[in-house]
Structure 1
Amino acid sequence: MEINDITINSEYIQLGQFLKLANIVESGGMVKIFLAEYPVIINNQPDQRRGRKLYPNDLIEIEDIGVFRIVRAT
C-alpha cells in the first residue's frame, strides 16, 4: 500500500480543501457530490464532513483512489 504525502503550509486543512489539493476533485462544488459517493476513512474512522480538519500525520483512505498522509511543510 503506497501512501501519498500531501504537504500543507498551515496548521490544518479541511477535507474539502484536501480533495482539491490532492487533485481528487476539480472544484469545491464537486466535493459534496464526491463525499456522497465515495467512503472516506480518516485515521480508521469513516467521515464524510467536508469541513473536517485534517492535521499533519492524519491518514486518509479513499476506496479505489488511494491512501494519503498529511505532512507539514518545513
Structure 2
Amino acid sequence: MSQINLVEITTEYIELNKFLKFENLVESGGHAKLVIADGQVRVNGKVAMQTRKKVRDGDVVTLAGEQYKIVVVQE
C-alpha cells in the first residue's frame, strides 16, 4: 500500500465531489459524479456512492490506489 497523502482543510467537512476537484483528482464536477457513481471512490475502506458525502477529519479517501487522509486545521 502506498503512503497516505495528508490533505488539510479549514472547515468541519468537505463534500466528496468537491474534495476530488480540490485535489485535482478529476477534471470537473461531472467527472467527479461519474467516478463516484462508478464505484471507484472509497471512504474509510467502503465504496462511496454519495456525490456530496461529507468527509471529515480523519477520514481516508481512496481513488486509483492512492489514499488521502483529511486533516482539519484551524486558521
User: TM-score when scaled to structure 1?
Assistant: 0.85
- Whether 1:72 and 2:35 are equivalent positions in the alignment is no
Q: Under a length normalisation based on structure 2, what TM-score does the superposition of the two structures give?
A: 0.84
What residue identity is the alignment partner of 1:12?
A: Y
**C-alpha RMSD of matched pairs (Å):** 1.5
Report SS of the residue matched to 1:7. strand
Quote the offset at 1:38 in angstroms. 5.0
Residues 2 and 67 in structure 1, CA contact (< 8 A), matched pair in contact too: yes
The unaligned stretches of length 5 or more in structure 1 are none
Q: Deviations over 1:4-35 (max 9, x none)?
A: 11111110000000000111012212211222
Shift of 1:46: 1.2
